Amino acid sequence: MAVALILGWWLVAASRAQNLPQPSLSLHPSQGVSLGDTVTLRCHLPRLAAWVWLYQEGGRTHNKYKDKEQDAVEFSFGNTSWKHAGTYRCQYHVSEPLGTSEKSDPVELVLTDHSFRPPNILLRSEEPVVLGSNVTIWCWRQSYGGTICLHKDGRSVPTRCQHTNWAGMATFTLSGVTQADTGTYRCSYRPEGRHLLSSPVGDKVALEMTPTPAHPGAGGLPHGNLVVAVVRGCAAVLVFFLGLFFVLDARSLWIQRDRSPGAEQIQWL
């Protein structure tokens, strides 16, 4: 009987959890949080009175109560250290109706350590860069090991990360580039075994796009317009020659008319 009651309560709680909207978690500032800075994790949820939990993977759990006037709960850490770096999720619990939401999608708090030197960066491509071409970005540093991440200005998370090769280099290839790939790129370095600590981002390179060159003859008239132009030209030539024909024919009639009285007078004499 006890097992049945527990199972029934669990099924009810699970069904109610599915009906509760999932919260979302955001980080402020979203990037460039240095050791010793203050950082805030904000859990966004419906306008309900609720208890909110913040979970750090492999670390501590924090909780706060949210009243009906709030739509988010903030968890702030001052003087951040390496122990604050990690992956976070949030979750909330309501009493009316009784239920607990699913956890939010994860958010990573990566701390910047200025003692790590940022990587160098180089952009290699055909000149000029046209739509659909391939672009390679190289990032490297002298020490072996660790991970190099490629950042694009305007995005809160790296576009991609790659473990360095034996020469301390990471190669990022952008295949079939589009206008969405244009922008400014930088690289950062994360040491081996400490992927939640990062160097500052390094020097920048700019990816600028050139419109695809037109094919020979592409600047001319489209096929349909070309046909219309040819027909109109032929019609104009035909009208010209018809007009010329009528003019010459009329002229010949006038000449014959002028000559005919003289001929009659000569015959009469």
The pLDDT tens digits of the residues spanning 213-236 come to: 555 554 444 445 555 565 576 666
Domain of residue 151, residue span: 120-207
**Among 79, 32, 27, CA closest to 198:** 32
Asked if the structure places residue 218 within a domain, the reply is no
Residues 136 and 75 placed together within one structural domain of the fold? no
Residues 68 and 144 placed together within one structural domain of the fold? no
Residues 101 and 138 placed together within one structural domain of the fold? no
Asked if the structure places residue 231 within a domain, the reply is no
* Number of structural domains the chain divides into: 2
Question: 55 and 89 in contact (C-beta within 8 Å)?
Answer: yes
The pLDDT tens digits of the residues spanning 49-60 come to: 889 999 998 877
Residues 22 and 64 placed together within one structural domain of the fold? yes
Q: Is 90 exposed, middle or buried, given 0-12, 13-18 or 19+ CB atoms closer than 10 A? A: buried
Among 112, 141, 176, the domain boundary falls at 112
Asked if the structure places residue 43 within a domain, the reply is yes
Residues 103 and 164 placed together within one structural domain of the fold? no
pTM confidence score: 0.63
Question: 58 and 86 in contact (C-beta within 8 Å)?
Answer: yes
The pLDDT tens digits of the residues spanning 61-103 come to: 898 888 877 889 999 998 898 889 999 999 999 987 788 999 9
Among 112, 143, 160, the domain boundary falls at 112
Residues 16 and 95 placed together within one structural domain of the fold? yes
